[in-house]
Structure 1
Amino acid sequence: MEGVLHKWTNYLSGWQPRYFVLDGTVLSYYDSQEDVGKGSKGSIKMAVCEIKVYTADFTRMDLIIPGEQYFYLKAVNAAERQKWLVALGSAKACLADSRSKKEREISETEDTLKSKMSELRLYCDLLMQQVHKIQESAQPLQDSSTPDVEKMNEASSLLKATCNTFINTLEDCMKIASVKISPELLSPPESPVAHVTSTPLRRVKRSVSHSGVVPPDRNAEINNLVQPPKGSITVMRNLEEMAAHRASRRTRSPVGNKTPDDSFAAQPENLLPPSQSVQDESASSANGE
């Protein structure tokens, strides 16, 4: 709806005619009808405003957002005000109905889901009872060695019908849940690890009784696997390790039987680097001179 209404501006200008346009739930006003396409001077949402009607003045009505916005309006006559009141009230009522309809749909969905869950619990109890009946009918009677076949068939048919009803009710619950839950939440997010590792990772399983300490024999096997083969590769050794090794061999050898290693180990000067031995000899010769 659209038309001319008088709007209160200020105490100097008083009531001024403005052209109002009701578009959906938004009421906008312009200086004139020609300015409709140029942008409104102001607007108010009917969803949050209150409509005040004056009984003393049949042309007066106010649109108020408490503490924020006030539209003081006057129609040309009482009939025109009545048309505007019907249009503005309908816009506000339609919005309220739409929101209440959405709320009703949500509440109805929740109630339906609750009732379906109650049915599932009931059918679950029935299934347990019918399975118990089948177990009883499968046992042979006291006066005969064969079970009651007729009773078993009856219990089996009831169990089949209950299972079908249980499955149908469960499908209804899944449908209701899928409507309430957004689709993006139903599918798990893609893991970024899949783009990093192209080959599957190898997992090592450890028993609960494993202490976590590697035994010496296993440690030696691991070192043999890790170390490269000793073919023509030169192995660098520390001089201190060589001296300790020869000293240990000397202590293990019998007394009186000296090996070439004993004479070598007995002379610690032989363990020094060649450059240092030459310097010591030159220093001793200089002192002798």
Structure 2
Amino acid sequence: MSFFTLAPVQTMGYNLHHSNVVPQICVLILGAVMSEPKTPTPTPAGDTYKGWVFKWTNYIKGYQRRWFVLSNGLLSYYRTQAEMGHTCRGTINLATATITVDDACNFVISNGGAQTYHLKASCEVERQRWITALELAKAKAARMQAESDDSGDDFSPTSNPVVPGQGGGSQNSEVQSALRTLGSKVEDLSTCNDLISKHGSALQRSLSELDSLRLTGEAGDKIRQVTERATLFRITSNAMINACRDFLTLAQAHSKRWQKALQAEREQRVRLEETLEQLAKQHNHLERAFRGAAQANATTDNKSSTGPGKGEASDEDDDNEFFDAMEEAPEFITVPADPQFHKLESPSELVPLKKRRTRIPDKPNYSLNLWSIMKNCIGKELSKIPMPVNFNEPISMLQRLSEDLEYHELLDKAAKCQSSLEQMCYVAAFSVSSYSTTVHRTGKPFNPLLGETYELDRRRESGYRSLCEQVSHHPPAAAHHVISDRGWTLRQEITVASKFRGKYLSIMPLGTIHAIFEKSNNHYTWKKVTTTVHNIIVGKLWIDQSGEIDVVNHTTGDRCHLKFAPYSYFSRDVARKVTGVVMDKDGKAHYVLSGTWDEKMEFSRVMQSSRGGENGTEGKQKTVYQTLKAREVWRRNPAFTTQ
């Protein structure tokens, strides 16, 4: 980009205080900005935008030159252009991203804290080209996401049903597609209009500053600033013009197509009306011929009495003609059966009995290219990811939620406890037992319909009745309520927040679980921990539970702190380990729990506790508990298998 300087103006004898200088300078500046820039620029191709941008890597290497590609609302980057075919260094979804400008050349793209790109362009003009392209892509991606959310829940008022036999389905869908495309172009025009308004205001402010500028050393900088802002205005105007040109071309092309479709529909309607009229005439002619033939077979006396012309019934007699019903018509007709059925003597043998299956069929093993399906889903929630049905297990999420009651006898025992601290041990063991079936179950339950319910009535053998209902569709949420005849009530509201990180999937259950015991009136609450599914793309799927649970007795103030240790290749502890301490409202420890969330849990009574040495993590002192012999409070039931 070449800029005009003050030197030629001063040699020509102009004075900046003169009233005609500013308009002449503006003419020179606008003439300069109308010429094409000489610096290499990113190349737009349809909805794709590519170019070199400097990306911040770390404090050692600083900004590094990377090849960025903007396509379909996704911004991806590569080290070189050759990597585009096989290796992507990172991708950010612009639908939920925020774009901010730091200074003349720097800008930041952030996606909710999960991903943040600090980028730097070679100049302010190039930075603004990227900002314009990113804002247009963000607006289009947000509209597409909103349309996809609405299409799954609500009925579109513009979609007309196609009546069988009337045709027009393909033309109707073509019209709807054209309307959506035109609507998208209108939104692009609106976005460009906002950008032009913003840049126009900035250019106007710079021109105002230039108009009030006096003869100082800042004159060159101000004129250069006006030139750059005029260039930015030209870039945005070109985008506006291109969008208008695309809109006009689409409107003209589809206008001709719609006129042809309308003319074809009119011609087809005329042909159908003519065909229907011919069929009506043929039907009337055949009906007259049938009546004439029936009368011709009558007796001769009847022929003489009827007189000539009676065989050709007139249209006026059609409404006055009646027919008698058949006398003594049979109620049914018997047909001899196939001889092979004559050997069957018992009536029950005529209806073969269907056998019910005793086990669920094996999961079909289909080869899937998961990376092609999920490469654009990184950072999204689980409810927004189109998962293959092969990943699901043949149950609903409501039924899976009811499986938390498999070890309901822990709550039965807790209801009989005299001590609230001992009762806390059983409640804590129950909160751990709900994860015992997840160690080998990598399938995802099906998402229930809104308002769908699942009832489990086991009052006869176990004394409780459970009812689940799907109370929200976006985001998915379920309500669960259990009433037991053995002195306890359980309820929970559950919704899931999830993130796909590429190699693993994190599932964060939200909501609180409540357990209330009638005899003691103790009210316990706790939450679930994070579930992580590893080896999503490569390797064998496996599940891990990690996090912390605080089981709180709101009646007495007792508390149990449970810790689910995440799996580590370098840890010497047993895998899937769970530890916990039961404390009263004063913080004094009474019981220690230990075990694994997939096998068993034990609890020991604390006799004495003391602070240990400086061997704890992060310099903290470890607490040493002197306990009695451990007692088993829960053990997983053996898995049920069928041959």
TM-score > 0.5, shorter chain as reference: no
Q: Which has more strand, going by share of residues? A: 2
Give the TM-score taking structure 1 as reference length: 0.36
Q: Could you state the TM-score of these two structures normalised by the residue count of structure 2?
A: 0.17
Name which one, 1 or 2, has greater alpha-carbon Rg: 1
Which has the larger share of helix? Answer: 1
Question: Relative contact order, CA 8 A, sep 6+: which one is greater?
Answer: 1
